[in-house]
Amino acid sequence: MPAFLAVILTAMITDNFVLSKFMGICPFLGVSKKLKSAVGMGIAVIFVMICSTLATYPFYHYILVPLGIDFLYNVGFILIIAIFVQLVEIILKKISPELHKLLGVYLPLITTNCAVLGVCIINVDNGLSFVDSILNSLGAGLGFTIALIVFSGVRGRIEHNDIPDAFKGIPSTLVAAAIMVIGFMGFSGMI
C-alpha cells in the first residue's frame, strides 16, 4: 500500500479520532441527530483541520522552535485556531456565500472542538513531515465525518424505539456508540 494512503487510512479508520481517541465527542453527540447536519459539520471540520495544520506547522517549526519557546505551543495553537476559524468565516462570507451558508453555522463550534487542537498537537508530537501532517489531518477529518454520518443513521433508528425511561436520551446514545466502537475495533489489524 502506498505510504500516503496508509497515513490517511490509519487516521481515518484504525485510529479514528472519535471512536478510538475520544476527541470531538461533543459534536459527535450533539450534531449527529440528522444526516444533513452531520455532513455539514464533517465538511467544516475537515476544512478547518487542514487549514489549521497549514498554519500551525510553519508556526511551530519556523517561529517557536528557532526562538526556543516550543513549550508554548499550546497557547499559540489555540490562538491560531481561534483566529483562523474567525478568518475562514469572514473570507467565506465574502467569496462564497453558498459555501458559507453550508458551513457557516458550524464554524464557531469548531474553536473548542478538541479534535482540531488534538490533530495539530499530534502532528507536532509525532514529528511528522509537512506533507504527512496534512495527510494525517485529512484522514482525521474524514474519520470524524464518517463516524458522524454512520452514527446519525444509528441514532435515527434508536430514537423512536421503546427504550427504558432511564436510558432515554444520552445513555442510550452512549451505549449505541459503544457497540459501534466494537464494530470499528474489527479494523484494527488492517493496516
CA separation for the pair 109, 81 (Å, rounded)? 12
Over the window 136 to 155, marking each residue x when it contacts other proteins by CB under 8 A and - when it does not, the resulting string is: --------------------
Nearest approach, Cβ of residue 70 and other proteins (Å): 11
Q: Give yes or no for residue 102 binding other proteins (CB under 8 A).
A: no
Nine-digit cell string for 73: 505551543
Q: Give yes or no for residue 14 binding other proteins (CB under 8 A).
A: no
Among 66, 68, 94, 125, binds other proteins (CB under 8 A): 125
Task: Select the span of 2-10, 128-136, 138-146, 163-171 touching other proteins (CB under 8 A).
Answer: 163-171
Shortest CA distance to 59 belongs to which of 73, 45, 75, 78?
73
Decide: 80 and 56 in contact? Cβ < 8 Å. yes
Q: Give yes or no for residue 22 binding other proteins (CB under 8 A).
A: yes
Name the residue nearer to other proteins (CB basis): 4 or 70: 70
Nine-digit cell string for 184: 470499528
Name the residue nearer to other proteins (CB basis): 3 or 72: 72
Cα–Cα distances (Å) from 48 to 15, 122, 149, 185, in that order, read 19, 16, 18, 27
Cα–Cα distances (Å) from 124 to 41, 146, 172, in that order, read 25, 24, 36
Shortest CA distance to 181 belongs to which of 141, 142, 153, 150?
150
Name the residue nearer to other proteins (CB basis): 8 or 27: 27
CA separation for the pair 9, 4 (Å, rounded)? 9
Name the residue nearer to other proteins (CB basis): 99 or 111: 111
Among 58, 87, 96, 108, binds other proteins (CB under 8 A): 108
Q: Give residues with Cβ within 8 angstroms of 47, minimum separation 6.
A: 88, 103, 141
Among 106, 137, 139, 142, binds other proteins (CB under 8 A): 106
Among 4, 6, 14, 20, binds other proteins (CB under 8 A): 20
List residues near other proteins by CB under 8 A. 19-27, 29-31, 33-34, 37, 71-72, 74-75, 78-79, 82-83, 104-106, 108-109, 111-114, 117-118, 121-122, 125, 165-175, 177-179, 181-182, 185
